[in-house]
Amino acid sequence: MTVSNKLTVASIQMDCILNDKEANLNRAGALIEDAVKKGAQLVVLPELFNTGYRVEEYDTVLAEPIPGAATQWMHQLAAKHHIYIAGAIIESGENGILYDTAVVVGPEGFKGKHRKMHLWGGEDKRFGKGEQLDVIQLSFCKIGLLICYEIGFPEMARIQVHKGADILIYTSAFGRARYYAWDTASRSRALENGAFVIASNRCGQDKDSAFGGLSRIVGPDTTILASYGAEGDAVVCAQIDLDEVARMRQVLPYLRDMNEKLYNNNF
C-alpha cells in the first residue's frame, strides 16, 4: 500500500484587540474551527495572537509561562481536532526575562518552542534574545519554527533544514510598509531550502503600527499555493505534498552542493 505524504496546512491571518486575551482567543478559535472544516492538519497563528503586538506597557502582566494558559488553550483545540497548532506569545522566562516565543502544540500536548533570536526595532527593550535554534518533530515531518523579522535571516532557515526541517513556519506581525521584504523573503526561503513555507501574518493596526497581512503558503519551487490580501481575517489553506521537498532538492541541489567548510570558516 502506498503511503501518502500529502497533508493540508493553514495560515491564519487575523487582526487582534490590544490587551484582550479573551476576545483574541475567541477570534483565533473561530478561525481554527474554520481551518479544521477545510481539512487542516497544521494551523499557524500570527505573532502575539492572544494579546496584540503593541502591548509594551502591559508585557509583564500579559506574559505567560510555557507551558501555561495559552498552550493549554491550544492543546484543547489540538486534541479535539487531532491537529497541530503553532503561534507566538509573550513568554515569562527565567529570572524575570520576557521572550517573544513561538510554540507548537499537538493532540498529545506541548511539542516545542522557539524564542525569537533576532529582535526588530525596539523589541530589544521588551524581550530577551533566544539562544537555541532547533527543529520540532511532528507526526508527518520535522518543522522549523521562526518568528516574523527572522524571515530575513536565511542562515536560520538553512540551519533548521540541515537539522531535518521540511516545513518552515513564520508566525508574524510583519509591517505593511515593508511588504516587499515579506513577499520576496517568503519565496526565497522556500527556494533556497527546497522547503514549504507557511507564513502567517497579522492584519489591521496597533497604535501607529500597521500590519501587512498577505499570509501565504509557498511551495519549494516558490509557487504561492494559497494566499490572502493585506486586509481582513482569513484562513489560507493548501494541500502540500512532502514528496515535493526531496524532488526539488534534486532539481536545485543547493543543499547538496554547499561548501560547508567555507561557511564554517567565516561564521
Dig out the grid coordinates for 87 from the structure. 503561534
Catalytic residue of the set 16, 47, 141, 150? 47
47 is catalytic: yes
Q: Of 176, 175, 193, 186, which is closest to residue 251 (Cα–Cα)?
A: 193
Please compute Rg for the chain using Cα positions: 17
Identity of the residue numbered 37 = K
Q: How far apart are CA 210 and CA 184, in angstroms?
A: 19
Question: What's the CA gap between 46 and 188, in Å, rounded?
Answer: 20
Point out the catalytic residue in the list 16, 141, 148, 237. Answer: 148
Report the Cα 124 to chain-centroid distance in Å.
20
Catalytic residue among 21, 113, 116, 237: 116
On the 0-12 / 13-18 / 19+ scale of CB atoms within 10 A, 218 is buried
Query: Can 141 be counted among the known catalytic residues?
Result: no
- List the catalytic residues: 47, 116, 148
